[in-house]
Structure 1
Amino acid sequence: MKLIFLAVFALTLCLSGSDGSQKWPNHDISTLKLLQVVHKHGERAPVSWTPNDPYNNVKYWPEGLSELTARGKNTMFKLGQFLRQEYGAYFGNQFSPREVYARSAAADRCFESCAALLAGAYPPNQKDWQWSDANVSLGHIWQPINIQTFLPEKSDLVCNQAKHCDIASAEYNRIYAQKVVKDFEAKNKPLYDQMTKAVGAPVGGIWEAFDLYDTLKAELDNNYYWDKTWSKEDETKLVAQLYESALRGQIWDYDSPIIKRMRAGGLVNELNTNFDKVLKKTNNKKMYVYSTYGAHISLLLQSLNVFNNVIPPNAATVLFELHQKPATDNYFVRLYYQNETTSAIIGIPHSVPLTDCKKLVDCPLTDYIESTKHLIYEDYDKECVKKSFK
C-alpha cells in the first residue's frame, strides 16, 4: 500500500555552507535536464550484538539498535548541502519542495537519512516557504518535504529487495552450494573459529562473518574498541579480515542474472520511467531521491556492471544525470558514484563509464535504456514462480 509521509525533521544547524565538502571541479551541468539520487543511509548503530560485546547496552546507542546516529544525521545533512552547492545553478533560487520527489525504504534509518539530506538541500530561503515568525528561527532554516514509502516494508520493489521470489531464492541457494563458496569458507575457518571464541556466538560461515563485521565496523565508526579483548591494532586487522568474507558474500548474493533482474528491476524501471517523463515532457521534478540500504546500492552497481568490488560505505550515493545536447532532441546519461562521504568530509563523486554502453561516460539515453532492458520484469509475482526466463 502506497503511503505518503510528511517528513518532519527539525534541524537547527546553521546553513552557512557545506563545511568539510570539496568543490567538484570540471562538473558541467549546463545541459542537465534531470538529476536522480540513490543513496545509502548514514552511519547507524549495530543491528545486533554478540554475548561478549562490551557495547551491547543501549547506553552506548541511545538512538536504538540499527538506528541512524547523530553522526549519520550530520553526514546526510552535509550530503544534502553538497548537492545544493554543486547543483545550485540547475536547481535555481526558488528552493521549492515541490520540485523534488523523495522515496525511502521503510526503515527508520533510511527515512531519517532522506529527511536530513533534503533539509540540507532545500532550506527555505524564499519567504514563500518560510513558515514561522521572526521569534522562531526553525521556519527560516528548515521546511517539511514529503517522503514516500511503502508498507509492509517487504512489499517495496523499488527501495528494498526482500519480497519473496521463488526463482531468486533458488538461485541464491544454488550459488551458496557451489564449491568455490565452500572452499572459501573452509579457508577462513580458522578466522571464524577464532572469532566464535572471542565474541561468544557461532561464526560458522560467510554470513555470520558478515554480521559480525557489520557490528564491529559500526562500533569502530563510533570509536568503540574491544580493549579488553584485542589491541586496537589487532582488532583493526581482524575487522579487515572479516571484510573479505563480507565482500564475497555481497558479491555472491547477486551473482546471477535472475537475481539481478528480480531484485534490481523495480528500481531500474523507476529510474528509466523518470527519464522517459522528461522525453514526454510530463516531468515536473528537478530531482528524484531514493533512500535505501548499502546492499541495494551494491545490487544496483552490480546490475549495471559498474561495481568497484568495495562494500558501499555509509551515505554512498549514485548520481544519475540526464543531459540534452543543445539544439537537438538527443539525450545522454552520465553516472557518478560518491563513496567518500562522512560527517567530516564530503568527497568528490567519481565519473563512472557505463560498461554496458561501450564504456562511454556520455551514454546515449536510447542505448542506456536498451542496455538495462534485461533487468526489467513485467509482472514480479508471475515471473517469480517461473522456472526460467530468457
Structure 2
Amino acid sequence: MGVIRLPSQSRLLCFAFHIIFILFQQTTAERELKFVVVVFRHGDRTPVVNFPTDLHKESEWPQGFGQLTKTGMQQLYELGQYMRKRYSNFLNSTYKRQEFYIQSTDYDRTIMSAQSCLSGLFPPTSSQTWNPELPWQPIPVHIVTKSSDRRLHFPLHDCPRFDELQNETQTSSEFQNRIQPYKDFLQTMAVNTGLELNNLRTLDNFQLWNTYDTLYCEGIHNYTLPVWATKDVMDKMEKLAELSLLSLFGLYETEEKSRLQGGVLMNTILKSIKQAVNSSRERKMEVYSAHDTTIGALQIALNIFNGKLPPYAACQFFELYQESSGRYSIEMHYRNDTSKDPYLLTLPGCTSSCPLEKFAELVSPMIAENWSKECGKKDKKKDIFIGFDVAVGLLFIFDLVLLYLLYHYGRCRRRNNYQDL
C-alpha cells in the first residue's frame, strides 16, 4: 500500500501548529501561582434575631440564635475539600503552619465555619494522624475581639463620617428612587411584622434584612411560616435586603464609603500580596472566615458586586501569579454556587489577569491613609493632652495676673503709708 504524502503547505501548517502548541504549553507551565487570599462567608446558621410577630422563639432552635447548623458545617467542609483540590499542586499535602494562616471574626458561627473548612482542607495523613479513628486534626484559628476588629467585621463602627454618609444615603435621590416602588409593600410589612414603619422605609438597623433572613432560615429548616410570607412577599423582601447591602456600602458616595469600610480589608489583602512578592517568607495562603457584609463591602469597593446577597459559604479568591516574564499579576475568582466553577472576575479598568502594579493603582482611591482621621474620630488621648496643656496655660496666666495685682497692691499700700506719715 502506497504512502500518502501531505501537500507541502499542509505539512508546514501542521508543523507551525505543533510549534505554537509547544510554545503555549511552555508559557502556561512557566506561569506560577505564588500566593492566595481567601475570604468566605460562614455556613448555614439559625436566625440572628426574631421580629415582634414571629411564630418561633429562640428556644425552638437547638443552639439558639446565630449558630452554625450541621448543614453549615457540611457546606464549609465541602469548601475545604474544594480548596484542597484547587490548590493540590500549590499547598503542602499536609498542614504546615509556616505556609498557612486563618483568621475569623469573633462569632461562634464563623469560628466553627473556619474549623469545618480546615477539616476538609487539611485532613491528617501519615505522620499527622494522631487518632486513626478520627480523620481530623486541630489547627489554630486566629481571632480578634469584636471591639478591636478593624479588618473583617463590617460595617466598621465608631466612624462618625460613615454614619453621616448613611444618613445622607437614605435621603439621596439614588436611594429614594430605588425604595419608592416598595412604599405600599413596606406599609403592609410593618403591619405583618410589628416593626416600625420608619425603620423599614429607611432600611435602618438591618430590621427588614434580618426579618427576611429569619423567614428564609425558618423556611429552609421546615419551620412553619406566617400565612402572609408568600413567595411574592419573600421575593420582594430579598430585593430589599439586596438594596440594604448595596446602600450600606455603595449606591451613594461609594468611593468614600469604601475608604471607610471595604477598602480597609482590601488594604490588608494588598499588603499581604506585596509582602509575598517582596519577602522570602514561606506563607502561601491567608484565609478569612467572615460574613455576607464582609464580602459585600469588599466587592462593592472593588466594583465587582453582582447585586446579590452572598450565599452561605460564598468565597472570594485572590490569586497572585508570577508570569513567565517575571512580572506579577492578580486574578479574582468568586465561588457562590457549588455546582459551578468559580466566576473569573475582572477589576474595572484592567484585564482578568491584572498586573500587580496596575491593580494597586486602580484600588488606591479606596484605601485611606489615615482611617481614624477620615472617619472624623477624635483622638481621646490627644484631647486629654490638649486639655492638660490648656489647664496649665490658664494656671500660668492666673499666676501672672495674681503676681501683678499683688505687686500693685503692695505699691499702693506703701504710697498710702508714706502720705499718712
TM-score range, shorter chain: 0.7 to 0.9
Moved more, 41-50 or 90-99: 90-99
Match of 1:109 in 2: 109
TM-score normalized with structure 1 length: 0.82
Structure 2 unpaired stretches of 5+:
1-27, 379-421
Q: 1:307 aligns with which of 305, 308, 318?
A: 305
In 2 relative to 1, CA 320–38 (structure 1 residues): closer, same or farther, beyond 3 Å?
same
In 2 relative to 1, CA 94–184 (structure 1 residues): closer, same or farther, beyond 3 Å?
closer
Q: Is 2:31–2:323's contact at 8 Å kept on the other side of the alignment?
A: no
Q: Which structure carries more helix by proportion? A: 2
1:175 is aligned to 2:172: no
Match of 1:16 in 2: none
| Partner Cα distance (1:261, 1:57) in 2 | 37
Show CA shifts across 1:279-334 (max 9, x none). Answer: 113332221101111011011111111111111111111000101113x3201001
In 2 relative to 1, CA 221–119 (structure 1 residues): closer, same or farther, beyond 3 Å?
same
Moved more, 172-181 or 50-59: 50-59
| Partner Cα distance (2:111, 2:257) in 1 | 26
Moved more, 29-38 or 74-83: 29-38
Deviation at 1:175, TM superposition (A): 0.7
Q: Give the letter aligned to residue 341 of structure 2.
A: I
1:383 is aligned to 2:374: yes
Match of 1:242 in 2: 237
TM-score normalized with structure 2 length: 0.76
Q: Is 1:154–1:160's contact at 8 Å kept on the other side of the alignment?
A: no
Deviation at 1:54, TM superposition (A): 2.3
| Partner Cα distance (1:53, 1:383) in 2 | 40
Q: Give the letter aligned to residue 369 of structure 1.
A: A
Q: Is 2:94–2:122's contact at 8 Å kept on the other side of the alignment?
A: no
In 2 relative to 1, CA 367–270 (structure 1 residues): closer, same or farther, beyond 3 Å?
same
Deviation at 1:197, TM superposition (A): 2.8
Count of residues paired in the alignment:
342
| Partner Cα distance (2:286, 2:365) in 1 | 23
Deviation at 1:201, TM superposition (A): 3.4
| Partner Cα distance (2:30, 2:82) in 1 | 15
Show CA shifts across 1:16-52 (max 9, x none). Answer: xxxxxxxxxxx99962111110011111111111233
Match of 1:10 in 2: none
1:351 is aligned to 2:344: yes
Aligned residue runs from structure 1 range 288-367, under 5 A? 288-326=286-324, 328-341=325-338, 347-357=340-350, 360-367=351-358
Identity %: 28
Q: Is 1:352–1:361's contact at 8 Å kept on the other side of the alignment?
A: yes
Aligned residue runs from structure 1 range 62-81, under 5 A? 62-81=62-81
How large is the RMSD of aligned CA atoms in angstroms?
Answer: 2.2
Aligned residue runs from structure 1 range 1-390, under 5 A? 31-59=32-60, 61-127=61-127, 129-132=128-131, 134=132, 137-138=133-134, 141-151=135-145, 153-161=146-154, 162-203=156-197, 204-205=200-201, 206-207=203-204, 208-226=207-225, 229-230=227-228, 235-255=230-250, 256-326=254-324, 328-341=325-338, 347-357=340-350, 360-385=351-376
Deviation at 1:186, TM superposition (A): 4.5
Q: Is 1:130–1:143's contact at 8 Å kept on the other side of the alignment?
A: yes
Deviation at 1:271, TM superposition (A): 0.8
In 2 relative to 1, CA 92–372 (structure 1 residues): closer, same or farther, beyond 3 Å?
same
Q: Give the letter aligned to residue 196 of structure 2.
A: P
Q: Give the letter aligned to residue 336 of structure 1.
A: H
| Partner Cα distance (2:364, 2:29) in 1 | 28
Deviation at 1:143, TM superposition (A): 1.3
In 2 relative to 1, CA 377–181 (structure 1 residues): closer, same or farther, beyond 3 Å?
closer
Q: Give the letter aligned to residue 34 of structure 2.
A: K
| Partner Cα distance (2:44, 2:55) in 1 | 20
Q: Is 1:38–1:291's contact at 8 Å kept on the other side of the alignment?
A: yes
In 2 relative to 1, CA 38–287 (structure 1 residues): closer, same or farther, beyond 3 Å?
same
Match of 1:7 in 2: none
Q: Is 1:96–1:122's contact at 8 Å kept on the other side of the alignment?
A: no
Q: Is 1:250–1:311's contact at 8 Å kept on the other side of the alignment?
A: yes
Residue aligned with 1:366, SS: helix
Deviation at 1:267, TM superposition (A): 1.1
Deviation at 1:80, TM superposition (A): 0.4
| Partner Cα distance (2:124, 2:30) in 1 | 23
Q: Is 1:335–1:361's contact at 8 Å kept on the other side of the alignment?
A: yes
Moved more, 272-281 or 89-98: 89-98
| Partner Cα distance (2:314, 2:100) in 1 | 20
Moved more, 241-250 or 199-208: 199-208
Match of 1:14 in 2: none
Deviation at 1:386, TM superposition (A): 7.5
Q: Is 1:50–1:56's contact at 8 Å kept on the other side of the alignment?
A: no
| Partner Cα distance (2:126, 2:38) in 1 | 24
Q: Give the letter aligned to residue 160 of structure 1.
A: H
In 2 relative to 1, CA 321–187 (structure 1 residues): closer, same or farther, beyond 3 Å?
same
Moved more, 242-251 or 278-287: 278-287
Moved more, 284-293 or 91-100: 91-100
| Partner Cα distance (2:153, 2:341) in 1 | 27
List 4+ stretches of structure 1 deviating above 6 A.
none
Max radius of gyration: which structure? 2
Deviation at 1:278, TM superposition (A): 1.9
